[in-house]
Chain A
Amino acid sequence: MSKDQSHIRNFCIIAHIDHGKSTLADRIIEKTGALTEREMQAQVLDNMDIERERGITIKAQTVRIIYTAKNGEEYTFNLIDTPGHVDFNYEVSRSLAACEGAILIVDAAQGVEAQTLANCYLALDHNLEIMPVINKIDLPSAEPERVKAEVEDIIGIDASEAPLISAKMGTNIEDVLEQIVNTIPAPSGNPDKPLKALIFDSIYDAYKGVIIFCRIFDGNVKKGDEILMMATGAKAEVVEIGIFGAGRFIPADELSAGMVGYITASLKNVADTRVGDTVTLAKTPCDEALPGYKTVQSMVYCGLYPSDGAKYPDLRDALEKLQLNDASLNFEAETSIALGFGFRCGFLGLLHLEIIQERLEREYNLDLVTTAPGVIYKVYKTNGEVVDVTNPSNLPDPSEIDHMEEPVVSAEIMVTTEFVGAIMTLCQERRGIYKGMDYLEETRALIKYDLPLNEIIYDFFDALKSRSRGYASLDYEFKGYEEAKLVKLDILVNHEEIDALSFIVHADTAYERGRKMVEKLKKEIPRQLFEIPIQAAIGSKIIARETVKAMRKDVLAKCYGGDISRKRKLLEKQKEGKKRMRQFGNVEIPQSAFMSVLKLDED
C-alpha cells in the first residue's frame, strides 16, 4: 500500500435529506469498480433497514475506492459518509474533521436548504475544501443555473465549475471523480511523528469486539501496538488493522499518516472509544489530543416500557445490545405505577428516539409503550440543591422548588417567503424568541429563533412541514439553560393519577395543553361500564375535564342466517382489544392512548 499521501483524497458528502447523498455515493463506488454491479445493493452506504426506509444515514459509513484518473495516476479515495440529521450534528462534525474536502450536493430543483447551509458552515469551520455538485438535473423542474447562483449567493463559494449530474441516472459522475482529484487537497500529516488518529465512529461486532473507525493524522499504527484513547484513558493491544472495502473489512499491515481505516483491539465496549477521541500509542503518546472532543449529551428523554410486563428483561438485553453500537444512547431502570417496569432513556433528539424505538420493535420484536418525551430540567431547590429532572414524576414538591431552568436551542428555519408569517406564528406559539431574519434571495428567508427545546421535541417538525407545505427546513444547536415558569401537569383518569401521562410544561401553555390532552384521551379511551372522568391538574387544581360516558349498548342485534363466523370474529377482535388494554384500578386504558398524546397538533 502506498504511503504516498499525495495520492490520497479524504472527503465526505454533505447534503440536505433527500438531495441524493447516498445515491451519489453508490455511483462513485460503482464507477470505480469497488463493487461489481451484482454486489451493489441499492444504496450501499445506508445499510440499516431503517436508514434505507427513511432515506437518512444514522451511522457514518466509510468506503475506500481506487480511482484511475485521466492523468493515468491511481488515487485512493476515502469516502466518509456523514449522518444526515440535526440530531447527529456532533457525529457529523467528527466525520468532517477526518476529511480534507467535502462534496456539497444541492438538489437542482429545491436549491439550498437550512440543513445544507448548516452542514456547509460546519465544513467551512473545519477548513474543508467545498466542492459543489448540482444533482437531479434529470428532474423536469430542475433549474441548475439558478441553483448554482444560489450556492454562490447564499453560501458564498464558487459554483461555476460545479458538475451538473444526475446520480440516479448516472449522468456526469466522471466529472465528479476528476474534480475530487483536482480540487480536494491531499492530506499532509507527518508519518514520523507519534501516532495521532481521530475516532470518527466505532461499532461493536460480535466476533471482533469494538471496531474503531479512524483517520490517521500523524505517525502510524501496526498490529501488536498498544494504543491509548486519550480522553477515556482506555488502553488496548491492536489485534487487527485494515481499510474499508465496500461492505467488508480488508486487513492491512499498517495504517499511516493521511490514511483512513479501522483498528480492532481487545475492547468490549464502544463507550471506551468515544467519537472525537484521539488514538495514540501508549508508549510514545503524542503531545496533545486533536481538538473538538465532546462527551455527547442526551437531549431528549422518555420512558420506554414493554407492553407485556414479562418482556422487561428482553427490553434490557435489547437496549444493552443497541448501546454497544451507540454510545449516545443511555438508559436506566425506572418504575411507573401505570406502566410497571421499564427504562428512562436518553437520546440525542427526537429522531434518534424514534429510530431506537423502531429498532427495538423491529429488530428485537418488542411491543413498546413510550411516555411523552421530555428534556432535562434543572431544578433549583429552596435548600440550595440543584437537581436534574428527566422524569416528571421525580419533580420535587412545588413548595421545595425555588425556580427551574429549561434547555434552549438556537434554531434556524429556512423557508420560502410566502410562509414566513405562518412559521413565525408557529415559533411564537412555541415560546420562541425572535433573533432575526435574513433574506437569502428574493423568495427565501432564513428565520432565527431561540426556542425552548421542550417545545420542539413534540411535534414541531411536523407542524413546520404542514404549515409550509413541506418547504421549511430546520436546523438547531443547543444554546444553554434559561429560567422558565414551568409546572407539572398531571392527568387523572377516574380520579387516579396516571404517572406515565404527567409532563412538565410552561405555565402559560398548561391550560391549552391540558385541555387538548383530555380531549384526545376522551377519544382514545373506550367507553366502559361506568362513567370515567378524565382530568388535567396542576397540583390539586383541576384545569380541564372531559367525561367518557358509560357504555350503554354493545350488542349485535341481528344474526346472519346462522353465519356464526362473523359473530365469532367480532367477539375475538373485542377480546384481543381488551388484551391490549392496561388496567388502572377498574379502568382499562388502551396503549394507543399513551402514544396519542404525543401528537396533539394533528387535529
Chain B
Amino acid sequence: MDLSLYIHIPFCIKKCLYCDFLSFPLREYEDSYEDYIDVLCEEISQIGRLFQTQFNLVTVFIGGGTPSLLPEAIERIDKTLRESFDTMSIKEYSIELNPKTLTERLCKVLERSLINRVSIGCQSAIDSELKALGRVHDFKDFLETYHRLRDIGIANINIDLMADIPGQTLESYRSTLDEIIRLKPQHISAYSLIIEPGTIFFDMEKRGELIIPDEETDRLMYQMTEEKLKKIGYKRYEISNYALEGRECIHNLVYWNRGNYIGVGLGASSYIKDKGYGVRFNNPKSHKTYKSYVDRLKKVSSLSELLESPSHIQKDDVQFLTEKEAMQEFFFLGLRKTEGVSLKKFENDFKVSAKDIYGDVIKKLVNLSLLDYNAEGDKIHLTHKGLDLSNFCMSEFM
C-alpha cells in the first residue's frame, strides 16, 4: 500500500496577518526549536519502524510554518527519512519555501537531499500587496529565490498566489499573473484570501479596517486565472490548483482521493485506511503533549496496536469513520478535483450504487447546472458554476 508523509515545521520569521495555521515566530523558540526537531526526527523514525514493512512511501511534503528557515533541520529530517524508510519508492518530495530564506546553506542542503519539488509562497507580484498581507519579502526577493532554485536544478516548482488581498484590483492581479506566467512554473496554486477567526485580519475586519475586493472582483480574478493559464497549457485540476501536464501535486491528490497519509510534527493530521472505512487522527497541538506522545509512540510494538487505539498514545480527534462518513468524504473531497469522482469506484468501495444513496442529490445538482456527468456517464464532476459554489454542492452530500 502507498503512504504519504507530511512533516510539519511550525516556525516562521513572523506570523502573516491572515495566517491561522499552527505556527510560531522562531525568535520565541530560539532555545527550544532544536528540541522540537529532535522529537520530530524521533517521530519520523518511529513511524518508519511501524509502517515500513507494509507501506511504500510515495510522497513527502515538508510544510509549515516556514521550513526553509531551518536548513539544519531539513538536513536532519532528510537523513532520518533515509534511515527510516526505503526512499526508492518516493515519487514526489516537496518543501515549502519562502523568499528571503534561500541561503547558500539551504541551497547545499537542497542539492544533497532527495527533495525534488519546491513550493514558493509568492502570493503577489505587487510589493504593496505583500506588505498588506504582512509578508516579509518583496517581489524582487521572490524572483531571486525562483531563479536561484532553477540554478541549483530544482525542476518542479509551485508558486502560491493569492486573490482578494487588501488593496488588490483586477488590474494588479492581472499583472501578478503575467509576471508569474513568464517564469513558467510547473504548478500554480491560486487561492483567495479567507479571513479566519483568531487572525489579525479577522479583528481588523470586525473593526471595519479591512477593505478587500468584492465577490464580483473575486470571481473575475478566478476566471482570469483559469483563462490565462489554460491558454498556455495549465490545467485546472482542482478548485485552486493548476499544473502543466503530468505536474499535478501527487501529495495533494492523496488527500482528495482518500489515500493513506501520516502527518508528523505538531498538530499534523493522518488518515489510514486499514480496517473498515479507516481512521483519522491528529497529533497533539501543544509542544509538551507532543513530546510525551512521541515517547509513548516508542513503546508501540506494532502498526495494528497504533491503529486500534490511537487515542491511547495521545492522538487527538480520533475518528473511526462510519460508512456514511466515508461516503460523504468520497464526495466532498473527491469533487474538489475537476475530473470529479467515479461512480464505479464508489460502488466498488461501498458495495452499493451511488444513485441508490445520493440519486436525489445528484439529480438536484445536475438540474441546477452545478454538477455534470462525463461523456461516458460513469463520473460526475462540478461544473464551473459548481466549483464556484462547491461548499453549497458538497453540503448536499452530508
**Chain A positions near chain B (C-beta within 8 angstroms):** 529, 551-565, 567-568, 570-572, 574-575, 578
Contact = CB atoms under 8 A, between A and B. Distances in A.
Given A553-B388, A568-B332, A574 B192 contact: no
Contacts of B218: 553
A555 B391 contact: yes
Given A552-B216, A571-B332, A578 B395 contact: yes
A573 to B, nearest CB: 8
Interface stretch (B134-142, B261-269, B298-306): B261-269
B390 interface: yes
A530 B2 CA distance: 44
B255 A562 contact: yes
B24 interface: no
Contact of B329 (A556, A563, A564, A570): A564
B205 to A, nearest CB: 17
B352 interface: no
Nearest to A566: B269
B158 interface: no
Interface in B258-277: 261, 263, 268-271
Contacts of B216: 552
Contact of B194 (A554, A557, A565, A567): A557
A279 to B, nearest CB: 61
Nearest to A567: B332
23 contacts: A529-B389, A529-B392, A552-B216, A553-B215, A553-B388, A554-B388, A554-B391, A555-B388, A556-B194, A557-B191, A557-B192, A557-B239, A557-B240, A558-B194, A559-B252, A559-B336, A562-B6, A562-B270, A568-B328, A568-B398, A571-B394, A572-B395, A574-B398
Contacts of B317: 565
Contacts of A560: 21, 269
Contacts of A557: 191-192, 194, 239-240
Given A556-B391, A571-B394, A571-B398, A562 B191 contact: no
B280 interface: yes
B387 A562 contact: no
Contacts, number: 96
Interface in B150-170: none
A562 B269 contact: yes
Nearest to B64: A561
Contacts of B239: 555, 557
B contact residues, range: 35 or more
B12 to A, nearest CB: 15
B267 to A, nearest CB: 8
A558 to B, nearest CB: 5
Contacts of A551: 389, 392
Interface in B312-336: 317, 319, 325, 328-329, 332-333, 336
Interface string B330-362: 001100100000000000000000000000000
B389 A562 contact: no
Given A554-B392, A571-B332, A571-B391, A563 B8 contact: no
A198 B12 CA distance: 80
A497 to B, nearest CB: 25
A568 B327 CA distance: 12
A574 B389 CA distance: 12
Pairs A-B, 4 closest by C-beta atoms? A574-B395, A575-B398, A557-B191, A563-B269
B148 interface: no
B268 A556 contact: no
A155 B34 CA distance: 80
Contacts of B240: 557-558
Nearest to A574: B395
Given A561-B6, A561-B63, A563-B282, A555 B261 contact: no
A572 B370 CA distance: 19
Contact of B389 (A555, A561, A568, A578): A555
B212 to A, nearest CB: 13
Nearest to B4: A562
B164 to A, nearest CB: 9
B368 interface: yes
A600 B268 CA distance: 47
A575 B329 CA distance: 14
Contacts of A567: 332-333
Contacts of B395: 571-572, 574-575, 578
A271 B370 CA distance: 58
B219 interface: yes
Given A559-B255, A560-B21, A565 B392 contact: no
A572 B389 contact: no
A571 B398 CA distance: 7
B22 to A, nearest CB: 9
A565 B319 contact: yes
Interface string B212-246: 00011011000000000000000000011000000
Nearest to B162: A557
Contacts of B333: 564, 567
A325 B303 CA distance: 65
A558 B191 contact: yes
Nearest to A577: B395
B53 to A, nearest CB: 23
Contacts of B388: 552-555
Nearest to A529: B368
Contact of B215 (A552, A559, A565): A552
A564 B269 contact: yes
Contacts of A565: 269, 280, 282, 317, 319
B79 to A, nearest CB: 23
Contacts of B280: 564-565
B239, B240, B333, B391 — which one has the most chain A CB atoms within 10 A of its CB?
Answer: B391
B51 to A, nearest CB: 16
B269 A561 contact: yes
A474 B252 CA distance: 65
B392 A562 contact: no
A569 to B, nearest CB: 10
Interface string B186-221: 000001101000000000000000000001101100
A62 to B, nearest CB: 52
A462 to B, nearest CB: 25
A555 B215 CA distance: 12
Contacts of B396: 575
Given A552-B216, A553-B218, A562 B261 contact: yes
Nearest to B61: A561
A556 B335 CA distance: 12
A130 to B, nearest CB: 54
Contacts of A563: 269, 282
B217 to A, nearest CB: 11
Nearest to A573: B395
Contacts of B8: 561
Nearest to B219: A552
Given A560-B21, A568-B328, A555 B390 contact: yes
Nearest to B394: A571
Contacts of B389: 529, 551-555
Nearest to A528: B392
A124 B336 CA distance: 76
Nearest to A578: B395
Contacts of A574: 391-392, 395, 398
Contacts of B268: 561-562
Given A552-B388, A553-B215, 14 more contacts: A529-B370, A552-B219, A553-B388, A556-B390, A557-B194, A558-B240, A561-B21, A561-B269, A562-B271, A564-B271, A565-B282, A565-B317, A571-B398, A574-B391
